[in-house]
Structure 1
């Protein structure tokens, strides 16, 4: 008989205020094949993408119940025949695969090439916050912008929305790389958080961004990482980006963006979606193993701050609804995590 494991899922895409927006379920224990690891999950986190998928997807009875979730930390309890990077018992972390069943389950299978060894000095609550935002920030800065890991003195990076999960890691990585950072934040709690993370200057993205940057003494910025509405900020970013500068964005736009604004400056624009490598099964998938390993090393060397700001326990439908409601409120800083499964 197939073993059953606990999970949190949903049957329909509902507002988080609905009791059935998440339900407690049991599913068959997954089986690891080929390059897959079977991971017993100790902690997960909720990202904005989780709320978008839960709320805005198309109902399909053939896919019910649907299990989402991407960030996870746990231990390897099984592996496929082609696994070479990990052993049974390894403590790992990862951000998952957009095409697979998610991490809101007691166990999950995941391709080893998307996984790294978790830092031993972080608790499940602290570690679960990092993979998705860490990969996104790292790929945006060092793959898309092609920044060297060090010696960026004199270069200026503008981060629109510095207090969210990606911004919280991007500020720290950019500081380690030697950049001067202008980050946006608007509420007292987010301003304090961004300052704690190491931003050199803080401005309000609800006000005139161009004027505020110019008032700081910068006519242009070398790089911009947009983590907020591109519709709201592309005009200002285009005005502020330096000739030959680079813009990276992660949020979708509802209206067309005018790339002609960048032509005379020869400025570049790139999208960052950390699921792209696994979604298209590219040869670069294994780079996420390397990035997560590097991030783990940085945490174990105490070079990065933890970004968990709230933790719920145990992992169940009720706590999942609470975490999603927090994200949808728009008032969170850092990350929200959930840990432990009720043994009853």
Structure 2
């Protein structure tokens, strides 16, 4: 089979960033399925891994995938022939190859109403958004108050806005976005939009004088003093970007700070958490097929090749896109 990977870390995509090699089709472990990959998408974790993680010779990236199960381990619980989607694992070869082995507990039936490419735009961001909102921040259908989503037009933001609007209708969703993306963010269900390039404290306090109860932050580094001003007492914050933080300014309001890393379940082989992720993806697919949420796709590239992956990484790292870059199909 064809596989596309990197052989050296690169700070920016170049003509040497990705190479194509012939590899053996993987064999499934007992809980695995082997998926014939039809489409993939690019996430910030793809570009950050390419920049900083040594490939140890040759490493295949790609976390989101959609395709057809062609083989299954004895304990996989997924039928051969099933069309599935998934976000994979950070410590196994990725979806940028024609066949991929994935643990069957973290896959789910792909939305029937979507193309392979559009389905591949959803898994990682949907899992991250769901776990942030309902597992880390503990928002529920009965919750009420103000939620600030920092990075409202990003991959996680566009799904989180839709999920919060749909499944927590008493929560007011405030999202950050540039003026050019305000219309998009409002169309997804944001009740109010603030410009993250301006005075965030003044804008948020004008909307929520007593402070917001929850913050989902895609860009939190260095924002801790700002969040201390705009949080209500006993608020909760969940961050999806890494790095060290000085959370001391939050102490006087007893604000809770948490992290969301979607790959914790698979990396730690936490079986209940892995099965929970499979159920989340199943529920997301149901909501998509019911016409209640949808992916936001910025660019569609084809076929899946070293050249299109390089271009996809360039687009993703430009930070000028609203939504995801997806790639589909393999050249003959």
Query: When the two structures are superposed, what TM-score results if normalisation uses the length of structure 2?
Result: 0.96
Corresponding position: 1:18 with 2:8: no
Corresponding position: 1:165 with 2:158: no
CA distance in 1, matches of 2:275, 2:204: 38
Verify the 8 A CA contact 1:118 1:127 in the aligned structure 2. Answer: yes
**Stretches of structure 2 lacking an aligned partner (at least 5 in a row):** none
180, 183, 192: which one pairs with 2:183? Answer: 192
Residues 175, 242 of structure 1: CA spacing in aligned structure 2 closer, same or farther, 3 A cutoff? same
Corresponding position: 1:65 with 2:58: yes
CA distance in 1, matches of 2:303, 2:126: 24
CA distance in 2, matches of 1:144, 1:116: 22
Corresponding position: 1:335 with 2:324: yes
1:1-344 map, 5 Å: 5-58=1-54, 63-84=56-77, 86-148=78-140, 150-152=141-143, 154-176=144-166, 177-178=168-169, 179-188=171-180, 190-228=181-219, 230-253=220-243, 255-258=244-247, 260-283=248-271, 284-343=273-332
Q: After TM superposition, give the deviation of residue 217 of structure 1 in Å.
A: 4.5
Verify the 8 A CA contact 1:9 1:104 in the aligned structure 2. Answer: yes
**Stretches of structure 1 lacking an aligned partner (at least 5 in a row):** none
Q: What is the RMSD computed on CA atoms of the aligned residues?
A: 1.3
User: What is the DSSP-based 3-state SS (H/G/I as helix, E as strand, rest coil) of the residue aligned with 1:309?
Assistant: strand
Verify the 8 A CA contact 1:221 1:240 in the aligned structure 2. Answer: yes
CA distance in 2, matches of 1:13, 1:217: 44
Q: After TM superposition, give the deviation of residue 191 of structure 1 in Å.
A: 2.2
Residues 83, 38 of structure 1: CA spacing in aligned structure 2 closer, same or farther, 3 A cutoff? same
CA distance in 1, matches of 2:75, 2:206: 57
CA distance in 1, matches of 2:75, 2:43: 31
CA distance in 1, matches of 2:323, 2:179: 13
CA distance in 1, matches of 2:183, 2:311: 24
Verify the 8 A CA contact 2:30 2:73 in the aligned structure 1. Answer: yes
How many residue pairs get matched? 329
CA distance in 1, matches of 2:239, 2:245: 14
Q: Render the CA deviation track for 1:193-247: whole Å, top value 9, x for unaligned.
A: 212212111111122111011222433001000111x223221112211112110
User: What is the DSSP-based 3-state SS (H/G/I as helix, E as strand, rest coil) of the residue aligned with 2:223?
Assistant: helix
Q: After TM superposition, give the deviation of residue 22 of structure 1 in Å.
A: 0.7
CA distance in 2, matches of 1:8, 1:173: 33
User: Hey, which bits of structure 1, 4+ residues long, moved more than 4 A?
Assistant: none
Verify the 8 A CA contact 2:159 2:295 in the aligned structure 1. Answer: no
Q: After TM superposition, give the deviation of residue 137 of structure 1 in Å.
A: 0.2
CA distance in 1, matches of 2:45, 2:164: 23
Q: After TM superposition, give the deviation of residue 257 of structure 1 in Å.
A: 1.4
Deviates more, 1:300-309 or 1:65-74: 300-309
Verify the 8 A CA contact 1:171 1:197 in the aligned structure 2. Answer: yes
Verify the 8 A CA contact 1:93 1:131 in the aligned structure 2. Answer: yes
